[in-house]
Amino acid sequence: MAWEYAPAPESADLARIEPAYGLFVDGKFVPAADGRTFTTINPASEEPLAEVAAAGPADVDRAVKSARAAFDEVWSRMPGGGRAKYLYRIARILQERAREFAVLESLDNGKPIRESRDVDVPLAAAHFFYHAGWADKLEYAGFGPAPHPLGVAGQVIPWNFPLLMAAWKLAPALAAGNTCVLKPAETTPLSALLLAEVCQQAELPPGVVNIVTGAGETGASLVDHPGVAKIAFTGSTEVGKQIRKAVAGTGKKLTLELGGKAANVVFDDAPLDQAVEGIVNGIFFNQGHVCCAGSRLLVQESVAGPVVERLKRRMATLRLGDPLDKNTDIGAINSRQQLDKIMELSEAGEAQGAGRWSPPCQLPERGYWFAPTVFTGVSQSHRIAREEIFGPVLSVLTFRTPEEAVTKANNTPYGLSAGVWTEKGSRILWMAQRLRAGVVWANTYNRFDPASPFGGYRESGFGREGGRHGLEAYLDV
């Protein structure tokens, strides 16, 4: 029999979206106690995707109690090799269902499918694989002969990398023997709920992972719950400060991964075309919704002209539009609120005298969009040089000497990441020793690996995620 041609299914059909989702508590999907729900939308079209249960304090309490029971009765007693088995299963199922996850993530978040397919989903699986490897080797991790888990971990995550942040939080916590209650962001709950389905598929014991969807109040209820032993938060510095106050004096362990205003420093001896690719990746990846985005370009004065010229030429080739189109480079902004913030800061940039430029770019009529934008002539006092914009907006500053580059790079309340572009290895090391940033990339940008610890200084938070260091946050050491 001859093969019949079957057209490829529309990408959107690859992800099954239910009309309504419950909370994931004690291994089951359940409605909120008071029946409240909220709508999650597709930011590229403003169309509703699903109704999602909004967890109130009673639901958070139920989830924490379920996690505690699972900790006491099952998970903390299970040998590390047993926990590893479940983590490996989750990792493999994530790989098997990668297309479904990638499509769902792009629909709910607005990020280009090329990024969800090539970055978010594979890295999420890699985090489970990596931490599965640690689960039966914790006594060799350098935290003493018998490190203990803490109990129930309360985890609150943002909307910029919904699945990946869930993996960053859950995998180390579970490997170390803790049980979890996770609160995804209100605008991007769907991939976490699909991950809950994966937990069921992997036959993870009920209560080991609980997912409570809702708004900021749900996160606050989780932070305040007395049954939680550890809080892990990724999000804005403002909410991070509130959480730190709420947790002070309670004995709860805390890690905070907050905002950033990273300097991407280009010296005159750098390979300029390669540096331009790194600048583009640093600020336009994920529409600039990246805590470690290279949002301040510091370029040596002698090459500033050619770098900005090549950058503009490259920016003119970026394709903005449908997140499910594999050729799209820049997708939708995640929410109206975030779009308003980007517009407000960009207007402040112009009002304060910086030169604004975007390539000619037709924005779709519906949805939330912002053209890739570069500001030149930026000074250190401008708001666009100081505040986290969290959008596809780059501020260009110049320097003359390496010392000036360090001073300018460190002139920020944040300290999460930085990039250095130069041909000289000795200069890379010299810079890395002086930059007050948790991560310094050399001749590359936005590279992530589960074995490599990630985290900040000062207003970027404290504690590390990933690697051996990341395990410490989930162990009683």
State the residues that interact with ligand NDP by CB under 6 A: 156-160, 183, 185-186, 215-216, 219-220, 223, 234-236, 239, 242-243, 258-259, 291, 338, 341, 388, 390
Q: How far is the CB of 143 from ligand NDP (least distance, A)?
A: 27
What type of residue is 441? W
Minimum distance, C-beta of residue 467 to ligand NDP, in the bound complex (Å): 18
Spell 9-47 as b/e; 16+ CB within 10 A means b.
eebeebbebeeebbbbbbbebeebbeeebbebbbbbbee
Residue 441: CB minimum distance to ligand NDP, A: 17
Shortest distance (Å) from residue 287 CB to ligand NDP: 12
Residue 320 per-residue DSSP state:
B
Q: CA-to-CA distance for 12 and 331, rounded, in angstroms?
A: 15
Smallest distance from ligand NDP to CB 106, Å: 18
Q: Which two tokens stand for residue 302?
A: 């002698």
Closest CA to 451 of 431, 432, 436, 471: 471
Smaller CB separation from ligand NDP, 130 or 161: 161
Cα distance between residue 59 and residue 54, in whole Å:
9
Q: 180 φ, ψ to 5°?
A: -130, 145
Whether residue 4 lies in the annotated active site: no
Q: For residue 377, give the 3-state DSSP assignment.
A: coil
Q: How far apart are CA 98 and CA 118, in angstroms?
A: 10
From the number of C-beta atoms within 10 Å of its C-beta (0-12, 13-18, 19+), residue 153 rates as buried
| Residue 158: CB minimum distance to ligand NDP, A | 3
Active site annotation includes 238 = no
Which residue number, 465 or 472, has a Cβ lying nearer to ligand NDP? 465
How many angstroms separate the CA atoms of 135 and 147, rounded? Answer: 11
Pair of tokens at residue 226:
């007395």
For ligand NDP, the closer CB: 322 or 388: 388
Residue nearest to ligand NDP (CB): 219
Closer CB to ligand NDP, 37 or 236, in the complex: 236
Here the contacts of 140-148 (C-beta below 8 Å, separation 24 or greater) are 141/468, 141/471, 142/468, 143/471, 143/472, 143/475, 143/477, 144/477, 147/176, 147/475, 147/476, 147/477, 148/177, 148/475, 148/476
Say which of 105, 115, 186, 291 is annotated catalytic.
291
Residue 244: CB minimum distance to ligand NDP, A: 11
The catalytic position among 186, 257, 387, 472 is: 257
- Closer to ligand NDP by CB, 168 or 267: give it: 168
Closer by beta carbon to ligand NDP, 235 or else 367: 235
Residue 139 or 238: the one with the smaller Cβ distance to ligand NDP is: 238
Q: Which residues pair with 28 in a beta bridge?
A: 25
Question: Counting runs of H as helices and runs of E as strands, what totals does the chain give?
Answer: 16, 20
Name every residue whose Cβ is closer than 8 Å to that of residue 401 and which is 6 or more positions away in sequence: none
275 Cβ contact partners less than 8 Å away, ≥ 6 residues apart: 266, 307, 421
- Catalytically active residues are 257, 291
